[in-house]
């Protein structure tokens, strides 16, 4: 079920370097890691204490119905195209960042890894400021 929900969401962000690659060379990265989304759906108190100062829900979890599960998933899922090097850096940022979103902040590991993502237009081009 989770894979189907994930597949239904388009990639909405990308790094500049990822956009220079062919589409099949880009890596789809979840800004809030999938593990953290599942934890929120099942039991937010199980969030990794190494990167969470509180165990409060970040999106109203745990899910109490299929509709609530989908609303949590839709609220937290953000996909970004990155390069292989950027993906490696994001997963080496420390603590448990590759598995969690510290206190619900999925962008913290992007900042720490020095990875900048930009919004994509509806045509799939980068939308720069």
The ranges assigned to domains in the chain are 2-127
Predicted local distance difference test score (pLDDT) of residue 52: 84
Output the tens digit of pLDDT for each of the chain's 129 residues: 678 889 999 999 999 999 999 999 999 999 999 999 999 999 999 988 888 888 889 999 999 999 999 999 999 999 999 999 999 999 887 666 667 788 889 999 999 899 999 999 888 888 765
Predicted local distance difference test score (pLDDT) of residue 69: 95
Q: Could you give the strand order of the β-sheet that contains 126-127, starting from the edge strand earlier in sequence? A: 27-30, 79-82, 13-14, 118-120, 126-127
Predicted local distance difference test score (pLDDT) of residue 102: 84
Burial class (CB in 10 A: 0-12, 13-18, 19+), 36: buried
Predicted local distance difference test score (pLDDT) of residue 84: 97
The CA distance from 92 to 63, in Å, is: 30
Predicted local distance difference test score (pLDDT) of residue 3: 86
The CA distance from 14 to 18, in Å, is: 6
């Amino acid at each position: 079920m989770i894979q189907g929900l994930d597949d239904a969401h388009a990639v909405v962000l990308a790094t500049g370097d990822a956009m220079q690659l062919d589409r099949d060379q880009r890596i789809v990265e979840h800004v809030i890691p999938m593990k953290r989304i599942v934890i929120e759906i099942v039991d937010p108190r199980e969030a990794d204490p190494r990167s969470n100062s509180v165990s409060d829900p970040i999106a109203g979890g745990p899910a109490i119905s299929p509709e609530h599960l989908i609303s949590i998933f839709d609220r937290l899922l953000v996909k970004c195209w990155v390069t292989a090097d950027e993906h490696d850096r994001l997963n080496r940022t420390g603590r448990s960042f590759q598995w969690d979103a510290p206190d619900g902040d999925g962008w913290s590991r992007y900042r720490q890894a020095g990875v900048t993502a930009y919004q994509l237009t509806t045509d799939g081009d980068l939308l720069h400021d």
